[in-house]
C-alpha cells in the first residue's frame, strides 16, 4: 500500500499541475487573440494612388488568419482572391471580398456572425494594398 501511495500521489499531482499549466496557457492565448482582433483598424486607402498590379497580403491573430491576392487596375479593385482563411466558425465572412470589390473600399461592414474573420480578411487585403 505504501508503495502505491508513493507512486500514485506524485503522478496525480503531476497530472494536475500539467492540466493547470495547459489551461493557463490556453487562457493566455485566447486573451492575446481577443486583444489582437480588438486592435485591428483599417486605413482609408485612396485606390487611385495604387498602381496597377497584383498584390499579396496576409494577417494572423492566432486563431484566425487570412492571405489575399488583390488585383488593381486603373485605381479600381478588380478582383480579390482569398488564398487562405484559417478560422474557427467564420467561413461565412469570405463573402466580404465581394462587398469590398462592389463598394471599392475595405471599410465595409463585417459579416454578421463572423466579425473577427471579417476583420482579419479586411486587414489582409489592406496589407496587400499597402504591401505590408
SS3 sequence of the chain: CHHHHHHHHHHHHHHHHHHHHHHHHHHHHHHHHHHHHHCCCCCCCCHHHCCCEEEEEEEECCCCEEEEEEEEECCEEEEEEEEEEECCCCHHHHHHHHHHHHHCCCCCCCCCCCHHHHHHHHHHHHHHHCCC
With respect to residue 28, please indicate whether it lies within any of the assigned structural domains: no
Task: Determine the Cα–Cα distance for residues 36 and 13; give it in Å rounded to an integer.
Answer: 35
With respect to residue 109, please indicate whether it lies within any of the assigned structural domains: yes
With respect to residue 36, please indicate whether it lies within any of the assigned structural domains: no
With respect to residue 121, please indicate whether it lies within any of the assigned structural domains: yes
With respect to residue 115, please indicate whether it lies within any of the assigned structural domains: yes
With respect to residue 41, please indicate whether it lies within any of the assigned structural domains: no
Residue 114 sits at the vertex; the CA angle it makes with 66 and 118, to the nearest 5 degrees, is 40
With respect to residue 38, please indicate whether it lies within any of the assigned structural domains: no
pLDDT in tens, 84-132: 999 878 899 999 999 999 999 999 999 999 999 999 999 999 999 998 5
Task: List the grid coordinates of 129.
Answer: 494594398
Q: How many domains does the chain have?
A: 1
Reported pTM: 0.80
Task: Determine the Cα–Cα distance for residues 35 and 13; give it in Å rounded to an integer.
Answer: 33
pLDDT in tens, 116-125: 999 999 999 9
Q: Quote the domain boundaries for residue 67.
A: 47-129
Task: Determine the Cα–Cα distance for residues 60 and 57; give it in Å rounded to an integer.
Answer: 11
With respect to residue 6, please indicate whether it lies within any of the assigned structural domains: no
CATH number of the structural domain spanning residue 109:
3.90.1010.20
Amino acid at each position: 500500500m505504501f508503495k502505491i501511495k508513493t507512486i500514485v500521489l506524485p503522478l496525480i499531482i503531476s497530472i494536475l499541475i500539467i492540466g493547470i499549466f495547459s489551461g493557463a496557457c490556453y487562457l493566455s492565448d485566447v486573451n492575446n487573440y481577443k486583444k489582437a482582433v480588438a486592435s485591428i483598424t483599417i486605413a482609408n486607402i485612396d485606390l487611385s494612388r495604387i498602381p496597377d498590379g497584383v498584390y499579396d497580403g496576409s494577417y494572423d491573430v492566432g486563431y484566425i488568419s487570412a492571405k489575399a491576392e488583390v488585383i488593381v487596375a486603373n485605381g479600381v479593385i478588380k478582383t480579390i482572391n482569398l488564398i487562405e482563411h484559417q478560422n474557427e466558425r467564420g467561413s461565412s465572412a469570405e463573402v466580404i471580398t465581394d462587398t469590398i470589390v462592389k463598394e471599392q473600399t475595405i471599410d465595409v461592414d463585417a459579416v454578421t456572425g463572423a466579425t473577427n474573420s471579417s476583420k482579419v480578411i479586411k486587414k489582409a487585403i489592406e496589407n496587400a494594398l499597402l504591401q505590408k
